[in-house]
Amino acid sequence: MARVGIIMGSDSDLPTMNKAAELLQKLDISYEMIISSAHRAPEKTAEYTRTAMERGLEVLIAGAGGAAHLPGVVAAHTVLPVIGVPLTAWATDGMDALLAIAQMPSGVPVATVGIDRARNAAVLAAQILSVGDEQLRKRLEEYKEELAAGVEKKDHRLQQLGPVQYLREQDDAK
């Protein structure tokens, strides 16, 4: 049974939103993913969200670009925590979506991550779920250790090569 529901406004959101799915998979968290839309499919969006809790979902991640009302509409229909992902669309580099998602009215919050930061939405969802799940908390701790090891590896290489050679190596790898 899925614990996290990922909902997005369009298939054009999928390449970015799939990063959330990948991270949930890495952390061994079950999820489901749907395309719906606050504007083009309002009934589907409402139905999905209203029934989310009874189907066992514990956290919802909603991504949208432009006039990004989807996360807010989702939050209006449930008391589950909703994490919003503002997506870069056709104008203003995603700032329109960021403001639309973050500026919710009092009483109906959407926990908003950075523009296109779908991976962070998955990490936040995992952190919420880990409050009552010790195994997951351990997996999250390992994930954070991996992040720290990545930094350490980069710094070690920088100390070995110096900045000029380091950047040259990065360019060569492109």
Element (H, E) at 23: helix 14-26
Q: Cβ closer to ligand RP5: 13 or 58?
A: 13
Residue that is written with structure tokens 């079950």 in the block:
30
Distance CA 46, CA 24 (A): 24
In the complex, the smallest distance separating the C-beta of residue 10 from ligand RP5, rounded to whole angstroms, is 3
Comparing every residue's Cβ against ligand RP5, the nearest one is: 9
Distance CA 41, CA 35 (A): 9
In the complex, the smallest distance separating the C-beta of residue 125 from ligand RP5, rounded to whole angstroms, is 19
Distance, first Cα to last Cα, the chain: 40
In the complex, the smallest distance separating the C-beta of residue 44 from ligand RP5, rounded to whole angstroms, is 13
Q: Cβ closer to ligand RP5: 10 or 49?
A: 10
Distance CA 34, CA 11 (A): 9
How many residues in total does the chain contain?
174
- Which residues of this protein are in contact with ligand RP5, per CB under 6 A? 9-10, 12-13, 37, 64-66, 87, 89
Q: Cβ closer to ligand RP5: 65 or 111?
A: 65
Q: Cβ closer to ligand RP5: 101 or 124?
A: 101
